[in-house]
Amino acid sequence: MSNTLRPKSEYRCFDGTVAYYSHYSASCDCEMSFAVYLPPQAQLKSVPILYYLSGLTCTEENFMTKAGAQQYAAELGIMLVAPDTSPRNTGIPGEDESWDLGSGAGFYVDATVKPWQKHYQMYTYITKELPALIIQNFPVQADKQSIFGHSMGGHGALICALKNPEQYLSVSAFAPIAAPINCPWGDKLFTAYLGEDKSKWAEYDATKLIEQTQLKSTIMIDQGTEDTFYQQKQLLPENFATASKKANQKLNLRWQTGYDHSYFMISSFIKDHMEHHSIYLNN
């Protein structure tokens, strides 16, 4: 099967275009979907790319409809790419049983254990296959890529950047799952996708990875104080901050008083994140 893009729908937005696509993914061995925003500048020249990874239960649509990023992407001349959060309709038993496992919960890792390993290769999909597809099909600057995300997608963005410091020029996150080996979600998802051997989990844990790799750019994180998942110790930004300090990694962790885990928090601070990435993408 080829990696031909199948356009699904297209909308004018801030003089640019929001478009939804699906395609056969070789790494996930199934049909995958993603959304893009092409800023008006892309009609005349190639533009930098900013990937956004969504959280649990999301599809490629949540960010495009709720975050309000397009107006800033249009101003700054940045293409947005928002992939779906997992393979779907794979036939894996139980894929749709739980909102925090399987469909909508790919966790941005390459699964190594059955039954998930055949399709759940999200890390390779996000860091290799999707970027190649974007470069092939859109007017982009291949050497200008950055990444950000929310919750599970904040975890995804951090690990993708820390494991590929040459590929992504900057990274930021909203309420990321910042130390997954130490939280209930990480426990559940790593056990399912990577197996019981916890030594294998560390290579997908941002707080562990920052001990080994530091980024030239400043990492930006926004965390709401009224975020129930933060209160339930699913996110653990303090662990990441402590490890970053120890490793001399520049980190801008901003506590947002009164904000929760929702897209109302994301849309309140999306401008700052877009401007943060623009410093690195448009220099």
Ligand X SMILES: N[C@@H](CCC(=O)N[C@@H](CS)C(=O)NCC(=O)O)C(=O)O
Residue of 43, 41, 19, 23 lying closest to 31 (CA atoms) = 23
Please give the full DSSP string across 26-87, using - where no structure is assigned.
Answer: TTTTEEEEEEEEE-GGGGTS-EEEEEEE--TT--SHHHHHHS--HHHHHHHT-EEEEE-SS-
Residue 117 engages ligand X in binding (rule: CB under 6 A): no
The residues, any chain, with a CB within 8 Å of residue 157's CB and separated by 6 or more, are 51, 52, 53, 147, 148, 149, 171, 172, 173, 176
Residue 271 engages ligand X in binding (rule: CB under 6 A): no
Instruction: Verify whether residue 100 is a known catalytic residue.
Output: no
Residue 99 engages ligand X in binding (rule: CB under 6 A): yes
How do beta strands 251-256 and 219-224 pair? parallel
Report which DSSP code applies to 183: S
Candidate list 150, 155, 261, 276, residue with the active-site label: 261
Query: Which residue in 88, 119, 144, 261 binds ligand X (CB under 6 A)?
Result: 261
- Total number of residues that touch ligand X (CB under 6 A): 13
Number of H helices, E strands in the chain: 10, 9
Find the binding residues for ligand X in span 144-203 (CB under 6 A): 150-152
Instruction: Verify whether residue 151 is a known catalytic residue.
Output: yes
Query: Which residue in 263, 269, 273, 280 binds ligand X (CB under 6 A)?
Result: 263
Question: Which residue number, 137 or 262, has a Cβ lying nearer to ligand X?
Answer: 262
Residue 36 engages ligand X in binding (rule: CB under 6 A): no
Closest-approach residue to ligand X (CB): 55
Residue of 131, 79, 70, 111 lying closest to 267 (CA atoms) = 70
Q: How far is CA 62 from CA 151, 233, 264, 266, 283, in A?
A: 13, 24, 12, 11, 29
User: Which of the ranges 1-9, 10-18, 116-124, 255-263 carries the binding residues for ligand X, by CB under 6 A?
Assistant: 255-263
Instruction: Verify whether residue 227 is a known catalytic residue.
Output: yes
* Residues in contact with ligand X, shown as a per-residue x/- string from 136 to 155 under the rule CB under 6 A: --------------xxx---
User: Which of the ranges 49-57, 68-76, 194-202, 242-250 carries the binding residues for ligand X, by CB under 6 A?
Assistant: 49-57
Least CB distance to ligand X at residue 114 (A): 26
Residue 55 engages ligand X in binding (rule: CB under 6 A): yes
How far is C-alpha 67 from the geometric centre of its chain's CA atoms?
14
Least CB distance to ligand X at residue 170 (A): 22
Residue of 167, 141, 137, 174 lying closest to 36 (CA atoms) = 137
Residues within the interface to ligand X (CB under 6 A)? 55-58, 62, 66, 99, 150-152, 261-263
Which amino acids are annotated catalytic?
A: 151, 227, 261
